[in-house]
Structure 1
Amino acid sequence: MNKGEAALRRVVQIVDGAAAVFLAVITILTFAAVIMRYVLQMPFPGSFDVSRLLLGVAIFWGIAAAAYRKDHIQVDLFWQILPPAGRRILDVFSDIVFAIFMAAMAWMLFWQVDRVRLSRQTTFELAIPIWPFYGIAWLGIGLCLLVLVARILRGFVTPLGDPAEHS
């Protein structure tokens, strides 16, 4: 494994860990809100808003990890019947299409972060600014794009039959 691949794996480990932390916080907030509402008969202000915003963040960060491992949803009926060279071409083509989509999404979300920041939108109950959540989500999409570009480059430089091509 070369230095670039090792660095990419470290980035993906960080992304995985961050997505897991975001999901854990959502779970804890939801559990605490349920306990406070039904056991203590008290509301948990802001838990829904923060959970909703963190869910978007977790999804965008999770997309980056799924893109690295090719764990995203795919239909491979056609791929299975292709020879290894055809599979490689189809894999690189699909990564390019996915990267184009993620680049467009990153571009649009980048401007959305700025619009939300300038609008000074906040959560309803706690008045937490929501633009940082959008910014963290944008970072997840940016990391997804980085991972896809690395996959595309690896698809062009890895010789056929190399075990690294399947990771």
Structure 2
Amino acid sequence: MLNSLRTVADGLIRLSAAIGTLALLAEVGVILVDVIGRAFGHPLFGSQDLITMIMVMLVFGGMALCDRSGGHIAVDLFQKSFPPLLNRVIDVLSALLGAVIFAFIAWAIWESAKLSVMLNLSTNLLRLPKVWFQWGLCGFAVLTALGLMLRALELTISGRDVRTEWNNT
């Protein structure tokens, strides 16, 4: 059961990372066109809108991958002096805390998206609806929260830390 759930989660994490990668390529492209345009006196109209909205997708698109591969900051000053069981409890609690934090981020963005729909909010220059990006951010935050919860469950039930296995898959 956990293995099939992990397989689905890893697929979603890879999709999220692929979307983040595409956002990075788009970000570089927009900045490149804008900088070259500025050199010739014709900057890209709306580049600030595009850069801001794409950055949301870039950062949150890679967040689940960052957790899955163990990329988050960890302070391990006392890890070697703690017994393995205590280290596992700390890992489970930190994963659960991360899941709660990302769930609150998703909830706050969802509430903000409802306001954006109600007020028909859009970006300043290009008039892109803000709600699309808010829904994307919300989805990425939910995926990250679910990934953190799954990691906590795997650590609790099997003691398996999937962060050490990512590069081997």
TM-score of the pair, normalised by structure 2: 0.88
- Cα distance, 1:78 vs. partner? 2.1
Q: 1:135: which partner in 2?
A: 135
Tell me how far 1:164 sits from its aligned partner.
4.7
Aligned mates of 2:122, 2:106 — CA distance in 1: 22
**Unaligned ranges ≥5, structure 1:** none
Q: Distance in 2 between matches of 1:4 and 1:123?
A: 38
User: Number of paired residues?
Assistant: 164
Are the equivalent residues in 2 in contact too, given 1:58–1:137 (CA < 8 A)? no
Determine the structure 2 residue equivalent to 1:122: 122
After superposition, what is the alpha-carbon deviation per residue over 1:49-77, rounded to whole angstroms, capped at 9, x for unaligned? 11111112221222221122221122111
Give the alignment's Cα RMSD to 1 decimal.
1.8
Partner residue of 2:145? 145
Are 1:166 and 2:164 matched, yes or no?
yes
What's the offset of the Cα at 1:32? Answer: 0.7
Paired with 2:164 and 2:41, the residues of 1 have a C-alpha distance of 52
Taking structure 1 as the reference length, what is the TM-score of the superposition?
0.89
Change (3 A) 1:80 1:63: farther
Mapped partners of 2:142, 2:34: distance in 1: 32
- Measured in 2, the distance between the counterparts of 1:144 and 1:6 equals 15
Q: Map 1:5-20; keep pairs closer than 5 Å.
A: 5-20=6-21
Give the structure 2 partner of residue 49 of structure 1: 49
- Contact 1:33/1:47 (<8 A) preserved: yes
Residues 154 and 165 of structure 1 are in contact (CA less than 8 Å); yes or no, is this contact kept in structure 2? no
Q: In 2, are the aligned partners of 1:15 and 1:61 still within 8 Å (CA)?
A: yes
1:29 is aligned to 30
Secondary structure of the structure 1 residue equivalent to 2:62: helix
Q: Which residue of 2 aligns with 1:64?
A: 64
- Structure 1 residue runs of 4 or more that deviate by more than 6 Å after TM superposition: none
Identity score, percent: 23
Q: Please tell me whether the aligned partners of residues 121 and 130 of structure 1 are also in contact (alpha carbons under 8 angstroms).
A: yes
1:54 and 1:100 map into 2 onto residues whose CA distance is: 25
